[in-house]
Amino acid sequence: MSKYITTPIYYVNGEAHIGHAYTTFIADSLARFYRLKNEKTFFLTGTDEHGQKIEESAQKNNKPTQQFADEISASFKNLWDEFEISYDKFIRTTDADHKKGVQHAFMKMYEKGDVYKGEYEGHYCVSCETFFPETQLIDGEFCPDCGRSTNIVKEESYFFKLSKYEDALLKHYEENPDFIMPKSRANEVINFVKSGLKDLSVTRTSFTWGVQMPEKLNDDKHVMYVWLDALLNYVTALGYGNGDAKMEDFWPADIQLVGKDILRFHAIYWPAFLMSLDLPLPKHIGAHGWWTRDGEKMSKSKGNVVSPKEVADAYGAENLRYFMLREVPFGQDGDFSQRAFIDRINSELSNDLGNLLNRIIGMSGKYSDFEIDSVDVEKYHAKELAQMNEVIESLDTFMENLQPHRYLEELWKLFSIGNGAIQEHEPWVKMKNDQKDQALATVALVANILAKAAVMLHPIMPKTTATIADALDFTINNESYQELVLDKKLLKVFNIKKVPPLFPRIEEPLMPEAPKAEPNPPKEAKKEEPKEEKEEDNLIEIGQFFETKLKVGTVVEAEEVPKSKKLLKLQVDLGEGKNRQVVAGIKEFYSPEDLMNTQVCVVANLKPAKLMGMMSEGMLLAAKDEDGLCLVRPEKPKKAGTPIG
């Protein structure tokens, strides 16, 4: 059985950021996981190098466009190589084979009647490389995705008959409910398709930096639009249009990872293109969330963009891999905080894992001259072995369902079993009581737990686990996976090696903290000064405060309000036996998917009011400043209906 895993191809208008690293870490972990199981695996990543934005960025940097693309693409590839990302192919859309495959696909669509020539006029966002209907624009001018100003573009274009595939797409979503992962993202895509698909402009004449048209069409003034060019990389990398060398082995893809901002292109345009080419659709499109820094959106202007290389240089690339995959459920937004990062290194990596290995090295050296023998483990530790095997048997499901955070959470139970066994059985007491065989059995039990945990942690932290395996005198590969995990065998007699501490404790942040947002300068006072308002004029009695009932609620349903730029309609569980409907003006800052199954703070005793004809039975607490709006949420999950005050 083969596995094909892809990241998006990253756009070369800037260097890699923490979001790029997150996607790549997940893909690399999946590829290593399947290779460990001896499944034939192909892992693709690369760079997207065409389009008006690249052409303009090159001009701003006073460089030829190809040279500019070469340099940025190399920065991505060099970083992934430094991080030892195990990709099988790094594709560039400027590769000759890719361009040939795209031209082959375009011609096939054209000959099928799915591509035709017409004229396009619409609002175009250069930053997003996307056209938007006026109804989707903010204030009739600004891009709904990035907020930048759009331009009205009118030009001759070739169109792809996207509307032709509307029903086929909806049928595919219905028949394949796991096509979009996590499932909470699927409604956004389905609703977009149900609202009606328009044919898609797939060529441009206003710039030249793109894939040229097939020679048969003799139409040199057009270049292919970036999304048609870019999306086809997933099959041109396998040889599509150039002999199809690996298409039979690996297509359709098993999992295609994307950020939530490009889900629509991958879950609507991409499958429609494949249907037109009579190719099977990928099995899963996995859309992850965005990353903030210390709770704030990252931006160059704020100076708070997280460089994955800077973090890796300070803390280690594998620690970064572990943190990002453990910190946030796949699909939800994550927050990079040095304090949270340090806490995970110290508590989970250093205390739970590193110290456990150090304890076993120390005890084995003291009790048996570093020799470890599993001969009595089953005799004295049947209970712990059963617990260990139960945990290990549960792990595959989490990885295959794109839940690396749950995979790691469950795997860490193994270290709890190991540390718990030492506390319960106290080998040092057994040695004093002349029960050496029992003491050494406990040491060997923990060594086996570490060995099996290292095998399963290997896809996430390959270098760290290789060090652990070397200390335990084995190598992590398919053979050891078969013996230790599938066959549940124990380690043979071996001499454990001393290793330096794997995760030295970190007491202080190793990187500069992000700069704090500057407060807005005070506004000039008006000529007519208002009457000074004293602080005591706004004081209230405590009884007045308690007249307001604040409760923790769980959002169980969320959807956009049609024809409204601001409103979302939520169903909120306040522990009352039935849900409350709350209409909130937060659409500019949160999508329905961002809110599903999250908790909010609700003013629960407001008089119901109608907004756009819909009854709203409460109000969400939120904070808003010059950087935007964020909801007030409980620090830790609380039971729905928990009072606040």
Residue 144: cis peptide before it, omega within 30 degrees of 0: no
Element (H, E) at 162: none
143 is an annotated ligand-binding site residue: yes
Amino acid (1-letter code) at residue 463: K
Residue 337 phi/psi, 5-degree rounding, is: -130, 130
Q: List helix spans (H) across 476-619.
A: 478-480, 542-546, 592-595
630 is an annotated ligand-binding site residue: no
Element (H, E) at 581: strand 580-584
CA–CA distance, 213 with 103 (Å, rounded to integer): 6
Q: Enter the DSSP assignment of 149.
A: B
Q: Enter the DSSP assignment of 641.
A: T
How many CA atoms lie within 13 Å of 433's alpha carbon, on the beta-carbon side?
11
Nearest to 481 by CA among 2, 34, 31: 34
- Rg over CA atoms, the chain: 28
**In this structure, are residues 160 and 114 in contact, taking their beta carbons and an 8 Å threshold?**
yes
Element (H, E) at 456: helix 436-457
**In this structure, are residues 281 and 179 in contact, taking their beta carbons and an 8 Å threshold?**
yes
SS3 content of the chain, % helix, strand, coil (to 5): 45, 20, 35
- Range list of β-strands (E), 73-205: 89-92, 115-125, 130-132, 151-160, 180-181, 200-201, 203-204
Order of strands across the sheet that contains 255-259: 89-92, 40-48, 2-11, 255-259, 285-288, 180-181
Residue 643: cis peptide before it, omega within 30 degrees of 0: no
CA–CA distance, 411 with 170 (Å, rounded to integer): 38
Binding site for Zn(2+), by residue number, is: 125, 128, 143, 146
Residues of each annotated binding site: 125, 128, 143, 146
